[in-house]
Structures are given as structure tokens and as C-alpha cells.
Structure 1
């Protein structure tokens, strides 16, 4: 029987559980750094699907915009080995005019911190591929999962959005 590598563990807080596969690791048995991006994108994708109501449409589609990635940041604190389990807690961070942040914290079930990460989508008009203000309906959904305490890596903003 093949088990899924990741699944939603809880919805409040929103937590994705991921099990490390042998293929995620280098010959020394440590997870490749690049795989953490896959772990983050998997968790963010499940979180966004949840925020979209698990309708089969993307979060942006439900609200009439595209939501491509504007930026990503990681702060690594630990390592993972084959068959390790990691729980990735997802919250909404800062909500700006055109973009917002998903903050994710990955910990082993015993509480050991593995990484903190921020994934930042930006809203775009689908017909023009130009940035657009966050629709009020999307802003309202994001605010239901807003986390007052910053859980992702700190990033400097050089321009206003």
C-alpha cells in the first residue's frame, strides 16, 4: 500500500503533515534543501484550497484574480531524515494592497523546529497579467486565518505594493 506523503492534519489551526521519503534525501540520508520548497508549496497549496472552500478552483479563481508567487523566504533550523514526519502550520500574515503572505512553520511532532517560511502571492488581473488590488471577498477570507504574530522570516520591502 502506498501512503500519501502529505495530508491535512487539522483545519484550525491549519496543519499539513508530511512524511519524508527516501527519494527526498541525498546519499547521506538528509533531505535536500530544494525539497523544502516542495514541502512549502504542497502545504500552501492545500491551505489555499481550503481557503477556496475545496471547490476544485484555485483561491484566486474563486475571487476572480490570478495569484502567482511574488516571493518566498526560508529560515532553516533543523534537518530531516527518511521517514521523519513534519507538521507544517499555515497562517495568513501581512495583507497588503495587492499581495499577502502565507506564513508556515514546520516542526517535528515533538516540537523540534525545522523551518519557518513565507510564501507571498500577488493578485493579478487575469486578462491583462497586471497587478490588481486584492478583491474584498478574498481579503475577507484571508482575514479569517490572519495570524497577528509574524511566523515567517523577516523580509525587507523596498517598494510599496
Structure 2
């Protein structure tokens, strides 16, 4: 069986996802609730790419967790079983404690499907409160910071 999700390109960073039949409602359209799953899958690949291995290991090194502070979507098109989408990820704004990962999804022919923003916030592991992004992590984020994705 072919993978439903994999890294297609590292520069620019793109994850390819194939819609499964089980992702769809009886009318054959992807459930709205599946889109965050698609986004989080791509974000997971992107974070590990930025870390040069495992973002979890990097988080432990800096003694910081990065839960989701916010997530937003702009739905542009619909998806059906068997459709393929390419989700491009870049780092957007980097603030004191939080940052944005901007994503844009389109079909291989360029037809836009959605734009999304995922915003992690750095927190201290032991006390579970916000903390500034460690300087070494900030340096990594800035390396992947580019203009917002334009294909959607």
C-alpha cells in the first residue's frame, strides 16, 4: 500500500497527502475535521526537518514544550477520495514566546485547497508556563522564515 503522507520536497518544504475514502462523508467530500489532521501531519514533518532530526529531542535539549496556542484555516476548495494535495510549510512571524508556521495546500495542478496557520507557544516543561523562545531555537526558526506561501 502506498503512503498517504510523505515529504515531497525539502526546499521548498512540501508534504504530499492523498485523501483516503475514510476521510470523507457519505457525499464523498472530506470532513472538515480531517483538515487539522492533514495540517498537523505536515507540521510534524516540518518541525522534524527544522530540528535536523527530532523536534522532540530538540525540545528536551532546550527544556521547552511547544503546544498549540492557535490554529486557523481559510478553506478555498474541496477534496474527494483519491485527491492529492501538496502542503507547503514555512515559518512566519517569530515573537517572544510563540511563532507561526504558515501552510498552503494545493492540488498538484496548482488548484488551491486551503491556507492555514499553526502557532506553537514555548512553555517551561516543569511549571507549564510561557517562556521566551530559547536563542538557539530562535536561530533555527529564522533560518526557515520566508515570505508567506503564495500558491493558495
TM-score range, shorter chain: over 0.9
User: Which residue of 2 is the match for residue 48 of structure 1?
Assistant: 47
User: Which residue of 2 is the match for residue 80 of structure 1?
Assistant: 79
Structure 2: 5+ residue stretches without partners: none
User: Which residue of 1 is the match for residue 93 of structure 2?
Assistant: 94
- What is the CA deviation profile of residues 78-113 of structure 1, one whole-angstrom value per residue up to 9, with x for unaligned ones? 001001000000000000000000000000000000
Structure 1: 5+ residue stretches without partners: 152-161
TM-score (norm: length of structure 1) = 0.89
Contact 1:52 1:62 survives alignment (8 Å): no
TM-score (norm: length of structure 2) = 0.94
Q: What is the aligned residue count? A: 150
Map 1:53-64 → 2, pairs under 5 A? 53-55=52-54, 57-64=56-63
Contact 1:92 1:143 survives alignment (8 Å): yes
Report the more deviating stretch, 56-65 or 74-83.
Answer: 56-65
Contact 1:48 1:59 survives alignment (8 Å): no
Cα RMSD of the aligned pairs, angstroms, is 1.4
Contact 1:24 1:35 survives alignment (8 Å): yes
Q: Which runs of 4+ in 1 moved over 2 A?
A: 55-64, 148-151
User: Which residue of 2 is the match for residue 20 of structure 1?
Assistant: 19
